[in-house]
Amino acid sequence: MNKTFLVLAISSFTATTAIASESAPTPELMPEPIKTEFFVGGGLGYHSAKAELSALGQKESKTAKGAAFHIRGGAYIQENHRITGTINFTGDTELWHSREDQDEINLDLAQTEFLLSYDYIHTINSQFSVFGGATVGMTQNTFKGEYIDLDDSLENESAKSKETDFVYGLQAGVQYKIMKNVSADFQYRHMFESYSESAEGVKLSVPNNSEFTVSVDYRF
């Protein structure tokens, strides 16, 4: 009886061990952990914003051009995917200027952008990669108008209008690896309409803006 019980116990233990070994995942089949690296950086850009004024069946467009700077941060996921948050400042850029014998009119446009971007990154070699993706966010457009009476300064007037709207766009660029944890991005970004306002048959809009940027990032 004891020998029979011992044989059954050993057989049961051996079978259980074999089943457990077969069901346990082998190291080769286990999924790899998601690799994530964070980064912070900033840079400069050349910003261009188009504004259109429509009234009485006529349309006129002007472009404000000037320097911009930005700060940003985000994460690389499995090397090929990047999520980036960017705050971009343009300052006042001249949109319209008119001067005659008796008066002068100035209109400036400033944009502050709060953007969230996704890029897919394709590695070419150990130093260069290309990337492209989409961006969404909010853009704050600030218009500043000034009327100057060259004969009587008491007649001078100024006005300011500010509005924040949803915006979206696309971007593409090239990344250069400077050293192990430092890289530079050369990027072109195009954003679609960020402002549109109509009153008494007059419409003012910003149908698009674009920017060439150079950024330096540090990974950690």
Position 192 pLDDT exceeds 60:
yes
Residue 19's pLDDT is: 46
Site of tokens 């009886």: 1
Residue 98 domain-assigned (yes or no): yes
Residue 11 domain-assigned (yes or no): no
Q: How many domains does the chain have?
A: 1
E strands in the chain = 36-55, 58-77, 81-89, 93-99, 103-123, 128-149, 157-179, 182-199, 202-219
Residue 148 domain-assigned (yes or no): yes
Q: What is the pLDDT of residues 143-186, one digit of tens each?
A: 888 888 777 777 778 788 899 999 999 999 999 999 999 999 99
User: What CATH number is given to the structural domain containing 39?
Assistant: 2.40.160.20
Residue 84 domain-assigned (yes or no): yes
Residue 191: give the domain boundaries. 35-219
Residue 141 domain-assigned (yes or no): yes
Lookup: tokens for 165: 């709207």
Q: How far is CA 105 from CA 24, 147, 164, 197, 202, in A?
A: 78, 5, 25, 21, 18
Position 30 pLDDT exceeds 70:
no
Angle at 108 between CA 52 and CA 49, to 5 degrees: 50
Supply the mean pLDDT for the chain.
86
Q: What is the pLDDT of residues 80-139, one digit of tens each?
A: 999 999 999 998 888 877 777 777 888 899 999 999 999 999 999 999 999 999 999 999
Residue 92 domain-assigned (yes or no): yes
Residue 73 domain-assigned (yes or no): yes
Residue 16 domain-assigned (yes or no): no
**SS3 label, residue 109:** strand
